[in-house]
Structure 1
Amino acid sequence: MTTRRLVLSSVLSLQPLSVGLSMLLTSKQSLAGGQLEEPLADSVRTALSSAIANTAPPVPVFYDTESRLAYLRWLGAQSDRLSRKKADFTTRKEFLQTVWYESKRAGLDVSLVLGLIQVESNFRKFAVSRAGARGYMQVMPFWTRVLGDGNASNLFHMQNNLRFGCVILRHYLERERGDLFLALGRYNGSRGRAPYPNAVTSAQRNWVTA
């Protein structure tokens, strides 16, 4: 994996829908950048709005026992890893279940989304960056106006925040033709610069399971 260019994992090929590294990973204050508001084609806006509006409950559905057991093993391993950030088991389970659901729904690697959350908010639900980005995935408030009802306070709702974040990241991946390095930079508002993509992919390693 090079500093300049990262490639998507096989999971990311699923169907579509400056501070230093240590500061990005450890600061108590959110140091996230911010997605930049850009013109969207009507077809893109419609597709993204539809993806946001489909508020199915985050309940995983499995069609075979092996898949369900794999998910339960993943849930147990990640719950142990997250226990220092979220002490209550029920809260951890709900959070991880929703991350898994929204990541899969958007065709994203779950470990990538967890790594991004670690860097963006350090798993703090009510984190706010200096740029005004909000919540777990540090979504800029303008997205609620562009794609939703304009109520930025909804970005502090767990599933809303994770859904917006995953849909936006998938959008940036498609804009960058699958280039994860550039897509992560665009997510952070630092397209073309290495610290943020490198921080996310480094944090992602904490959440990879066998």
Structure 2
Amino acid sequence: MVVPGAFLLPGQAHAGGQLEEPLADSVRTALSSAIANDAPPLPQFASTEARLAYLRWLSAMSDQLYSRKRDLNSRIEFLQTLWYEARRAGLEPSLVLGLVQVESAFRKYAVSSVGARGYMQVMPFWSRVIGDGDAGKLFHLQTNLRFGCVILRHYLDREQGNLFLALGRYNGSRGRAPYPNAVLAARKRWVVPPENLA
């Protein structure tokens, strides 16, 4: 199976025409609040075992990501931020990694043909709808991952937990299989077997 976007030029990325939909004021306020906290990603752990499991995850993901991000510091910063933002939004880090792989092939400055930006290919209208209006910030690592995770969580909630439909909505292709199937296939690469975390 060919993953969409696998043969794109360096500056391009795979993103559908995500649609700007009207949001109720309460939803807009909740989403704005969800992206407002600009604190750095500092994970908290309930136990030493949980911290060790996280460190093992970080090591395993760093090894897998090496071919796409060679610099150790930027690779670790990316993974720490992704883990933090995914967990903060109630998402599996493996799902977010799969989405990033399909959307931007892990390129920070990727821009799609419809103008979506960054790792998670966030459409610029989101910066106006729930942010401060500065679409340039969508190239900032934490801002992009936070927006993307909050938006995906919003779509999951709208679709009552149906991941297939939520992914389609994220891509602007709700109800069509290629995009959700590509993300779900990519997610499998980023799942660490539980025995490797123990």
Query: Could you state the TM-score of these two structures normalised by the residue count of structure 1?
Result: 0.89
Amino acid in the other structure paired with 1:200: V
Q: 87, 111, 122: which one pairs with 1:139?
A: 122
- List runs of 5+ in structure 1 lacking aligned partners: 1-20
Q: Does 1:27 align with 2:4?
A: no
In structure 1, the residue matched to 2:106 is 123
Computed over aligned residues only, the root mean square deviation of the Cα atoms, in angstroms, reads 0.9
**What is aligned with 2:196?**
none
Q: Offset at 1:34? A: 3.1
User: For the Cα contact (< 8 Å) 2:3–2:102, is it kept in 1?
Assistant: no
| Alpha-carbon distance in 1 for matches of 2:108, 2:143 | 11
Partner deviation per Cα, 1:21-74 (whole Å, 9 max, x = no partner):
514152233121132100000100000000011112111111210000000000
Query: Given that residues 34 and 187 in structure 1 are in contact (C-alpha distance below 8 angstroms), is that contact kept between their aligned partners in structure 2?
Result: no
| AA of the residue aligned to 1:27 | F
CA distance in 1 between partners of 2:14 and 2:136 (Å): 20
What is the number of residues matched between the two proteins? 190
Equivalent pair of 1:24/1:31 in contact (CA under 8 Å) = yes
1:61 to 44, 50, 57: 44
User: Unaligned regions of 5+ residues in structure 2, if any?
Assistant: 194-198
Q: Which runs of 4+ in 1 moved over 6 A?
A: none
- 1:101 to 2:81 alignment: no
Mapped pair 1:194 → 2:174: no
* Alignment check: 8 A CA contact 1:25 1:199 kept: no
Structure 1 contact 125–158 (Cα < 8 Å) conserved: yes
Q: Is the 8 A contact 1:25 1:118 kept in 2?
A: no
Give me the TM-score of the superposition, normalised by structure 2.
Answer: 0.94
Determine which of 43, 52, 56 is the counterpart of 2:26: 43
Do 2:62 and 2:79's aligned partners in 1 also have CA atoms closer than 8 Å? yes
Contact 1:124 1:135 (C-alpha < 8 Å) held by counterparts: yes
